[in-house]
């Protein structure tokens, strides 16, 4: 998909997200400005840093954040529970 097509597609998704996110999470205190991310497997954030109003992020960065969070909370370092199959 070309970047202009991605721009339109993600703009539509991010607009819907901004419209409905506060009603979906009623009772929780959410920040006024939500950090919206477009996660790609095959894309570089060097050329295109944003798309559709959201930040371009490589899936590697997302997984690194998840693993760092799990590691900081786990009494057994580098252990991922069996029920989290996608992370294993």
pLDDT tens digits, one per residue of 19-74: 999 889 888 888 888 899 999 988 776 788 899 999 999 999 998 988 888 777 76
pLDDT at 76 over 70: no
Q: Whole-angstrom Cα distance, residue 32 to residue 39?
A: 22
C-alpha dist (Å) from residue 66 to 1, 27, 70, 86:
28, 25, 6, 12
pLDDT at position 83? 79
pLDDT tens digits, one per residue of 7-17: 999 999 999 99
> What is the domain partition of the chain in residue ranges?
3-24+35-87
H and E: helices and strands count for the chain: 2, 3
């Amino acid at each position: 998909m070309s970047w202009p097509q991605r721009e339109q597609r993600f703009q539509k998704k991010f607009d819907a997200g901004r419209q409905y996110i506060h009603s979906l999470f009623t009772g929780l205190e959410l920040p006024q400005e939500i950090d919206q991310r477009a996660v790609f497997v095959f894309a570089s954030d060097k050329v295109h840093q944003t798309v559709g109003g959201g930040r371009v992020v490589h899936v590697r960065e997302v997984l690194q954040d998840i693993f760092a969070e799990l590691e900081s909370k786990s009494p057994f370092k580098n252990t991922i529970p069996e029920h989290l199959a996608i992370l294993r």
